[in-house]
Amino acid sequence: NKKSLSFENKENGKKYQLSQNSETSLFVRPRGLHLDEQNVTYIGKEVSASLFDFCLYAFHNADIRMQHNLGSYFYLPKLENSKESQLWNSIFTLAETELHLPVSTIRATVLLETISASFEMDEILHSLKDHSLGMNAGRWDYIFSAIKRYRDVKNVTFPDRDQITMTVPFMKAYTELLVESMHKRGAHAIGGMAAFIPDRKNPEITEAAFSKVKDDKIREAEMGFDGSWVAHPDLVPICKEIFTDYLHGKDNQIEIVPSYQINADMLQDFKIKNSTVTENGVRTNIKVGILYIQSWLLGQGAAALFNLMEDAATAEISRSQLWQWLRNDTITNEGIAITSNYVESLINDEVTKIIKESNNELMLSEAIQLFKDLIFNDEFEDFLTLSAYKFLK
């Protein structure tokens, strides 16, 4: 509230602090509606994690922010439909009444990151009414959502994760629809996260990351987005320069309303030319899935793995792809059938490498067991965090 936001990692001694001259606006992302807060109960039942996060922040900060002529800003994740956004709107309205705040003091951007929500963009925006700031195009969560919803459809098998880019048909369609839907009603459309992480010790990796981010943000600006996300502070100048140049100094390009004419079939066009499932893709899913779950169990919700900022969504993709490949008679590009025995052997191989390359085996055995349960159990777990949450003390 006073530009005093800071964080210190006691394990490695690194400290992060917001500059006093920073133009950064603080947005709080409460947990999704699917989660409960196991440490707080009401009448014997765990309370909603979403309500817990929102209420705690709003109660302690909304009035102070008002004194600094600031509203309270939120990012709403994992919304599946407009019923959920209606619920959030009623929560915001009640909070403003109880805290004696003017209408619209509380504002929210919706993370459009589920395929079901892409069919209700207009309804979601309308339901938030005076509290809406627009929408942000989720990436990894959106891919996970598509895999989850279509996992049992035999003719829909998703390829290696790195082949599901923002330019494949179903991803391109939903982002174009998002820009059109938002601008049609004067709301902001924010681009997706660039997850590349520069390596300050390796100029070649950094240069490659910068190049990919630049191409990604140019594409978004040309599509009509008003701004975007990056995963690392070093990428902010690149993103900012591209949008500043493209918008000729304007704050946004809301006045441009494209006519992409997206329909339901286009949102479900999962055909990707020349796509494949490879052994490397299977191995990558195993490595990322296990290492991320280990990181999550150790309290680190975002983990830098292989020069990408990985969050729960990428681990969700990893385990859901393996779950689907195991049940859809998938054959790798090398001609190997993806069976339980095959995946188990690769897990053993990758775990051996992880142990050899890592100096931290805390919670590793728990992460491995949880990952195996998620891919081998016939019942598909909606969110891995529901199972992982039980391991937290």
* DSSP for 288-346, written as a single string: HHHHHHHHHHTT-SSEEETTEEE-HHHHHHHHHHHHHHHHTT-B-TTS-B--HHHHHHH
* Domain residue limits, the chain: 1-138, 188-253, 279-391
- Looking at the chain, how many residues does it have? 393
Calculate the CA 110 to chain-centre distance. Answer: 12
pLDDT confidence of residue 393: 61
Q: Domain 279-391, CATH 1.20.1220.12 — does that match?
A: yes
Are the CB atoms for 88 and 108 separated by under 8 Å? yes
Q: Is 210 exposed, middle or buried (0-12, 13-18, 19+ CB in 10 A)?
A: middle
Q: Which residues pair with 112 in a beta bridge?
A: 137
Of 245, 249, 198, 187, which Cα lies nearest the Cα of 217? 245
CA distance 175 to 118: 9
pLDDT confidence of residue 121: 98
Amino acid at 221: A
User: What distance separates the 2 farthest-apart alpha carbons in the chain?
Assistant: 65
CA distance 178 to 46: 35
Are the CB atoms for 204 and 226 separated by under 8 Å? no
* Residue that has been written with the tokens 């053993």 in this structure: 348
For the chain, 393 residues long, the average pLDDT of each consecutive 10-residue run is 77 80 87 95 97 98 91 97 98 98 97 98 97 96 98 95 96 98 98 87 87 95 96 91 96 97 98 97 97 93 79 94 97 98 98 91 95 98 92 75
Residue 222, SS3 per DSSP: helix
DSSP for 108-122, please give it. EEEEE--TTGGGGHH
CA distance 347 to 205: 27
Q: Which two tokens stand for residue 321?
A: 């792809």
- pTM for the complete prediction? 0.94
pLDDT confidence of residue 3: 66
Of 313, 336, 311, which Cα lies nearest the Cα of 325? 336
pLDDT confidence of residue 324: 98
Residue 28's CB is within 10 A of a number of other CB atoms, namely 15
pLDDT confidence of residue 255: 97
Catalytic residue numbers read: 29, 311
CA distance 5 to 28: 13
